[in-house]
Amino acid sequence: MMNRDECFEILKRHITDEVVVASYSSAVEWNDLNPRPLNYFSVGAMGLASSHGLGLALGRPDRRIVVLDGDGSLLMNLGSLVSIAAAAPKNLVHFLCHNETYEANGGHPLPNPKTDFAGLARSAGYAQVHDFAELKSFEQQVGHALSQDGPVFATLHVKKNRPLVYDYEELYKASRRVALKAALQG
């Protein structure tokens, strides 16, 4: 098992001009580690990070889109796996933080914490699928995963996190969307 913040620290070294789509816990930690105009956080989007990522990937095929999703969130929108696979955007990389809980809603356990999300993505038809449980392996292979033609799916088996402070007003302020729009037009 890994720590999500350590995974994100490693990922941060590989992120340059990609758009990073995240919601809830992933958004909080990613923004703490790497605040930047090309981060996309959406209000009330539990379960929709993958769908927002798909829309951006289709709308901006010239940009790599990286989705930072949670297992509880993805369970709310499993159909997105099939939609993403059918659309087959080569520029989409979907990371799933699998900590076996609905973290943003109090850390309640998933109904089946042993769900094989990589297997679901593979069955849906993702072009590339990875499963990481060791930080060293993730560190060695993340660059490769980010460079593959997508859609790419990677499960990150992470520990339950420390309690996070969810400052939604700060995270979802309108100036972030303005900055993202400007960065995408520039």
CA distance 160 to 98: 9
CB atoms within 10 A of CB 61: 13
| 6 Cβ contact list (under 8 Å, min separation 6) | 135
pLDDT-derived band of residue 23, with 50, 70 and 90 as boundaries?
A: confident
Please state the separation of Cα 15 from the chain's center in Å.
13
Contact (Cβ atoms closer than 8 angstroms) between residue 30 and residue 97: no
Write down the residue that tokens 């105009």 correspond to. 37
CA distance 67 to 168: 19
Span 79-90, mean pLDDT? Answer: 98
The CATH number given to 4-185 is 3.40.50.970
Whether the pLDDT of residue 43 is over 70: the answer is: no
Element (H, E) at 70: strand 65-70
What is the DSSP secondary structure assignment for residue 164, as one 8-state letter? P
When the pLDDT of each residue in the chain is averaged and rounded to a whole number, the result is 92
Supply the DSSP string of 112-161, one letter for each residue: STT--HHHHHHHHT-SEEEEE-SHHHHHHHHHHHHHS-S-EEEEEEBPPP
CA distance 64 to 147: 9
* Res 6: pLDDT: 97
What is the DSSP secondary structure assignment for residue 40, as one 8-state letter? E
* Res 109: pLDDT: 76
Span 27-40, mean pLDDT? Answer: 94
Q: What is the CA radius of gyration of the chain?
A: 15
CA distance 52 to 40: 9
Q: Which two tokens stand for residue 61?
A: 């095929």
CA distance 50 to 84: 8
pLDDT-derived band of residue 163, with 50, 70 and 90 as boundaries?
A: low
Whether the pLDDT of residue 122 is over 80: the answer is: yes
CA distance 168 to 156: 25
- Identify the residue with better confidence: 133 or 104: 133
